[in-house]
Chain A
Amino acid sequence: MIVMLAFVIGGLYAAGLYMMLRRSITKLIIGLSLLSHASNLLIFTTGGLVPARPPIIPDGATEIIKPFADPVPQALVLTAIVISFGVTAFALVLLHRTYLTIGTDDLDDLSKTDSAKPETSD
């Protein structure tokens, strides 16, 4: 199961980075969310994927018997999912605003702040 998930996570990272390198902003944001999914899944996997082994010390024992399913990464991943949800929502709104203002979703048209001086002032 862990090997399979490792491939899934690797695939997600690869797909996310590939999407981020595309020219379209829409694909950039898909890439970002794939990337955060990959990280979330990675943390989830580190908790140990052992079925039916709750992290409870059995009667009479003083230490927990390994392997057990660690609940902490699940709590962490929950936080991370919520954060990435909020961030993705913001990125989508930003994309929409950018599309409305600039009228393009091509990243190559967004090079104004890099080279030429921007015309805006505060």
Chain B
Amino acid sequence: MNTILILPLITPLMVAAVSFLLWRHRTWQKWLSVVGACLSLAWACLLFERVRDGEILIMQAGGWAAPFGISLVADTLAAVMVLLTATMNLAVTIYALRSIDERRAAFGFYPVLQILMVGVTGAFLTGDLFNLYVWFEVMLMSSFVLLALGGERAQLEGGIKYVTINLLSSAIFLAAIGFLYSVTGTLNMADLALKLGTLPASLTAPLSVLFLIAFGVKAALFPLFFWLPASYHTAPVAVSAVFAGLLTKVGVYALIRTFTLIFAFTDVDMNSMLLTLAGLTMIMGGLGALAQTDARRMLSFLIIAHIGVAVMGLGLGTTRALAGTIFYLIEDVIVLTNLFLIIGIMGGVCGTFEMRRMGGLYRTHPMLGALFLIPAWSLSGVPPFSGFFAKLALVQAGLEVEGYTVVALSLIVGILTLTVMMRLWAEAFWKAPHLVASDIDATQGKIQVGKMLLAPVCALSLMSIGLGIWAETVFGVALTAAVQMSDADVYVEAVLGAVR
């Protein structure tokens, strides 16, 4: 019995439950969330230490043996993602202490954020497809609340689009699960992998496409990405940061699991389709970002572009490419969350997120200018930051299998990202302050940059730098995870063999 598997799940859940009981005591809720986030991070670190060398930890819920009960599985990839989730949880919770207004806190912002973390962690740890659906719904439900909390006009508009498209994708996912159960009679991922292998491709191919659509919506793959830039930027920045860092990555994680494990033994070859979609996603996201003038909308398009880069590694299909994807995911989660947090501070100082009306920040906040450049360069793939090494791994893997087009596209996306990032930097920091009569009056929206806002940003920036310095170690972990995943037998044996 590996209790460590359940701890990162149960800690935020307990925090949320106790916080709901302390409904009126908001200070308690806040500090409980921070303590809970620290605890989750500690559990996640312990879990990661256990599996970083390639061991797979299994917990059979309720002691029911593998194909019958629900298995929780932590292989290296899952543990890495859980660790990232816990880190983002801590960073965003601390950031939220200062940036989330009392009205939102009064409607349960902190407990709902913890429940979102439960959903995300559960989705990473589960080894059962229907259970994955349930975690997805936990995650979606709390993300709906977080998105709409506050009830501003833009939030409600974005909320309706987000809710609709996500419910549609859940319905497709559910239908796919139903079909899968009817042909195999099991929903345990390891068992599914074995049983699907005996079925003809004419049956498994349509199923895999259903999963591609369902997870493609969550991951914001081309052509299913349009909901993301319509909704993500409407929420408070702390919420957008968590969405940007984690929610789309859950979709990518689910895609990786599906196509390296469940459909591993079938004749279905999705690689070329995934590569095409990845290429189109990168270009659409990159070009979309160029056209934006709102900093948060621009970042939303960049999320899409970099989802494309991550999926590219999955499409290339080699072990090295998978390792590149995992490295890229690690980097992407940290950097995108960080960028949203910094842009939140910038927008707060300027009183607007509209780039044309920002300006003059370098004179008042020079340190912020330096801090912004770290994740901005990292995302664009400028050496020596982490993004460079992640993309290098992907490009090398792409050249090995002669996927020249997609490699070229991924490099173009790097240039596009650098362009929009530098444009934002020039507009917000370099340009003379934008003074219009209406802006001078509108000072009440502006914020003071405090330690509570800067601490998570600094910590995440240090992590980006650290990932670049210790790139070899990080890539080693990614490679361990990738080796594990390119041989689906290992996973299947660990889950099913442990009890036989």
Contacts and interface: CB of A to CB of B under 8 A. Distances in A.
Interface of A: 20, 25, 28, 32, 35-36, 38-40, 42-43, 45-46, 70, 72-73, 76, 79-80, 83, 86-87, 90-91, 94-95, 97-98, 101-102, 107, 110, 112-114, 117-122
B231 interface: yes
A35 B167 contact: yes
A86 B141 contact: yes
A95 B163 CA distance: 11
Nearest to A116: B294
B164 A32 contact: yes
Contact of B171 (A38, A73, A98, A102): A38
A40 B380 CA distance: 44
B181 A76 contact: yes
A120 B154 CA distance: 7
A110 B101 CA distance: 25
Contact of A94 (B144, B168, B177, B185): B144
A38 B101 CA distance: 41
Given A35-B167, A86-B141, A94-B163, A112 B157 contact: yes
A73 B175 CA distance: 12
B175 A91 contact: no
A97 B148 contact: yes
Contacts of B177: 43, 76
B171 A101 contact: no
Main SS of chain B's interface residues? helix
Residue from B101, B144, B174, B353 having most chain A Cβ neighbours under 10 A:
B174
Given A39-B175, A87-B141, A90-B141, A25 B347 contact: no
A120 B445 CA distance: 10
A70 B159 CA distance: 38
B353 A121 contact: yes
B99 interface: yes
30 contacts: A20-B168, A28-B164, A32-B168, A35-B168, A36-B171, A36-B174, A38-B171, A39-B171, A39-B175, A42-B178, A43-B175, A43-B178, A46-B178, A46-B182, A73-B181, A76-B178, A87-B137, A87-B167, A90-B144, A94-B156, A94-B163, A98-B159, A101-B153, A102-B157, A112-B153, A113-B161, A113-B231, A118-B234, A120-B153, A122-B347
Contacts of A46: 178-179, 181-182
A43 B174 contact: yes
Contacts of A114: 229-230
A61 to B, nearest CB: 18
A16 to B, nearest CB: 8
Contacts of A83: 134, 137
Contacts of B163: 90-91, 94
A69 to B, nearest CB: 13
Contacts of A102: 153, 156-157
Given A42-B175, A46-B182, A120-B154, 7 more contacts: A36-B171, A38-B171, A43-B178, A45-B178, A76-B187, A101-B153, A113-B233
